[in-house]
Amino acid sequence: MSVRGYATLDERMFRHSIRDTFSWKDACHWFLLSFLSGNVNVGGYLACNRFVSHVTGFATLAGVDAAHGRFDAAIGILSVPIFFLLGVMISASLIDRRDHRGQRPQYALVMGLVALCLFVAALAGHFELFGKFGGELRLKRDYFFLALLCMASGLQNAAVTTSSGSTIRTTHLTGLTTDLGIGLVKAFTFRKKHTVLTAEMRSNYTRIGTFLSFMAGSLVGAVLFLKVEYLGFLLPMSLALYAMGVAYATRPRAVSRVQGLPSLK
């Protein structure tokens, strides 16, 4: 496989599409990242009653605050997803932009930044720089905590989204559930066409696995966070470091310019 002018080993943790032919070992890397996201999301919820990768929820809360005349709170909560957007933009700059320029995508660096955000969240929370774990959200006190988790989610989601041709997202499930519903109907529609059916069912199995992995990450994370509170973020941090190691080990080794390759979607 070649990547925008670079001869690569096998960057399968990131660089393949749900519709490509890949082994279930490859799919398990996606599942691992979805498990990580479930950890982070449940940690944010248990810490301050907010889903950190759910931008729709922040917009909804901003509307509720505005309706009650709490315009300062509305503006404050609405600004938190900006850090998700910032994480996406940083990730896109290090991966998608470099890829379009024929440069080496920095997957390992992106996952390292994810790990760093989670490490800071774990230690700062443990040393009581945020609010009491499980308490009600107080934006002035918990703002930096939410910003760290949103940025980590944005970094990871953009890395997987851009590298998979926008076919996989691991930090939220709404789009995935929509794709699964459409995929099931397609599988039923093309049931007599073996090639199409095989490809569609492979995609559906991967979507189901991603969904279940997120749920498993939420379950394991909930048990862990209830016991060790903020230090629970050390688990998804470790998974991010593993992903960084895989990305580094399978990075492009040598430059071999290839002309005319299509750009990523």
Residues 26 and 42 sit within 8 Å (Cβ to Cβ): no
User: What is the rounded average pLDDT of the residues 224-251?
Assistant: 92
Angle at which helices 107-126 and 139-163 pack, to 10 degrees? 160
Q: What is the per-residue pLDDT for 7?
A: 34
Q: Is the pLDDT of residue 93 over 60?
A: yes
The listed range with the strongest mean pLDDT (154-163, 171-180, 204-213) is 204-213
Continuous segment of H or E residues that includes residue 255:
strand 254-255
Residue with token string 């982070």 = 40
Provide the mean pLDDT of the chain. Answer: 80
Please compute the mean of the pLDDT values over residues 185-209 and round it to a whole number: 76
pLDDT at 163 over 80: no
pLDDT reported for residue 200:
75
Can you give the pLDDT at residue 255? 39
CA distance 223 to 145: 20
Chain segment 70-81, per-residue pLDDT in tens: 888 888 888 888
Q: How confident is the model at residue 261 (pLDDT cuts 50, 70, 90)?
A: very low
Residue among 179, 193, 155, 150 at smallest CA distance from 17: 179
Q: What is the pLDDT of residue 125?
A: 94
Question: What pLDDT, on a 0 to 100 scale, did the predictor assign at position 17?
Answer: 52
Q: 234: pLDDT confidence band, cut at 50, 70 and 90?
A: very high
- Quote the DSSP letter at residue 95: I
What distance in Å separates the CA atoms of residue 172 and residue 55, rounded to the nearest whole number?
Answer: 10
β-strand partners of 255? 6
* C-alpha to C-alpha distance for 210 and 212, rounded to whole angstroms: 6
Rounded distance between C-alpha atoms, residue 57 and residue 173, angstroms: 13
